[in-house]
A and B are shown apart, each in its own frame.
Chain A
């Protein structure tokens, strides 16, 4: 988010591969829906969103505020939701996290987990309202999907931290 100009004593910016790793990992997580498996009800957690939140909450500086736009656009193309759904909702999540960053200054992982669960629940519920008609009987499985996704978030955050270490983040 914050990209100060580099002074003469600052460290060199990371190489291109290290800068491209976070967005690439989010794109790959979005592509999990192309795994050859025909679901009869919404069962797969939104891994693209979870990866994005994982990066945003562990390393606030890797993604600019507008990063969810292209990533969400790609996710909409593969997820089956109407186009613009993730673009809008993911950016709103980033705005909310940005606000929380200023109010809630010292945070623990518990708070991060709560924020991520809220964001996942928000995106899934609004996405359901947008995509499926109100009378559809998907609410129970949607609740299940939200709970599973929230439970899986620590793993995803851990994975993001591991990737961050591998790419040589300080």
Chain B
């Protein structure tokens, strides 16, 4: 292309000054950018209000596009549903028969469980759901893993509440706006969830890796073996996540730190359920009186 090396914009003083001023603004602005970057790194929720304001505008658009996409994507499946419904009916009837015996056994077990718990006077805090919403978009070009939820403080969503999907834990609320909230997904490199193994209650930490998988680190003993297929659920330690939400399944045999895949696949864009924090921070701080 043609050279543009002539930086003097002519003899006009005004043009020269405006060019010079442009450079002054650019240098000053990049310094301001560096300061903002330092502030945002030291105090991540510092500019949450700005982001939330913009998200208020973009989230309805994302929701609309997502609804449109779901509508189009559901056409082939509903057509095949119509064809396959008869066969499915027979299958389901058979399954119902098979499950009947299992159900009776489970009922007795549940009854026993209730009675035993009453005997132990175990008070179980079962946090209720706050709102069911959808994850509408995510930070796809960044190395951080955030999602945007289309419900916010007007729906009762508050910072620190856990978010789960039908299959398992998705993450927790990081920032809220009036109608939107930012969710720190499980696979974010800065997300850590206390978990335990279902098999023997072994405590561990599930830390995000940034590439969609989790690292399960043993929290108690050294030299702990993880087997492929080990299932980890939240332990309730720390007071954010209520216990027994499925988190991840170990992929490979390993010692002390194992690779695991989350149960909830956020990219399926399904419903997300925001729950109350298991033990809200304020009451936890007030609790240790004696």
Contact = CB atoms under 8 A, between A and B. Distances in A.
A46 B141 CA distance: 6
A167 interface: no
Nearest to A42: B143
A128 B179 CA distance: 29
Interface in A72-95: 72-74, 77-85, 87-88, 91-92, 94-95
Nearest to B53: A77
Interface string B6-18: 1101101011001
Contacts, number: 216
A42 to B, nearest CB: 5
A140 to B, nearest CB: 7
B37 A83 contact: yes
Interface string A28-52: 0001011111111111111100000
Contacts of A78: 51, 54, 58
Contact of B209 (A69, A74, A137, A142): A137
B137 A35 contact: yes
Contacts of B281: none
B133 interface: no
A162 interface: no
A64 to B, nearest CB: 5
A38 B190 contact: no
A75 B58 CA distance: 13
Contacts of B211: 40-41, 137-138, 140-141
A131 interface: yes
A106 to B, nearest CB: 6
Interface in B133-176: 135-148
Given A5-B14, A66-B29, 9 more contacts: A2-B7, A36-B136, A37-B138, A45-B141, A83-B47, A87-B32, A102-B5, A108-B1, A133-B190
B141 A42 contact: yes
B26 to A, nearest CB: 4
9 contacts: A3-B18, A4-B15, A5-B10, A35-B137, A37-B140, A39-B140, A87-B33, A141-B210, A145-B141
